[in-house]
Structure 1
Amino acid sequence: MKSLNIDELEDAQESNGIDPVLANVIGIFLKANNDWPIAVLTLEDFESEVSNFINGTTTKNNIYLASKKIDLFKNAWQAESLGQIMDVFQFFEKGMSLKEIIERLRIELGNN
């Protein structure tokens, strides 16, 4: 199973043949990843970072609850990133985790 590399996602987003919704989802991930204070090269690594930061599964509810407890003086970049990543959930079924969304994205992009 091939990881979703950030550079490849940027190229895919700019592709003319990509579904507009898929391009939007990729854009959300790229913005959220860009604001994360630790550089990551793949969406899988980004999901792992988020999971470690919130200390749990990366569901919308868990991310939301964790974001409400963030000390903005110490973790402003994480707060910004989590706020952005919340937008990705509107495109998927309720209860999905970022890990499941990334897997769906991998399949849509043909990277399985």
Structure 2
Amino acid sequence: MKPGSEFTAMLEALVIDWLKEASISAVSRFMGLSWNAIDGIMQRAVKRGLARRKEISSTRIGVDETAFKKRHDYVTVLSDQDAGTVLHVGSDRKKANAQSTWYESLTKEKR
């Protein structure tokens, strides 16, 4: 069992692999897990990934926005164009969100 989880590391890894290919709803049906259980697995995976991430030294940053399910719910994605990694996902598509949460977290030297 993973600390803070009722699931084994192997099951959590399987759920994360499935989430790369299918929606939360599909994985929920297939695995017989609740949406909240899958969300918890995703949150723990993100936390582990952020803890392993090396210092950011991006020189080319991409900014993109995407909508969910053809609705008007958007997120802004900032990515390192050279490494192909996501740096930040903002909860909307406003410039202020990216600046206040990601950009402002950088040191003056990094900016």
TM-score of the two chains, using structure 1 as the length reference:
0.27
Larger Rg: 2
- The higher-RCO structure (CA 8 Å, 6+ apart) is 1
Structure ranking higher in strand proportion? 2
Structure ranking higher in helix proportion? 1
TM-score of the two chains, using structure 2 as the length reference:
0.27
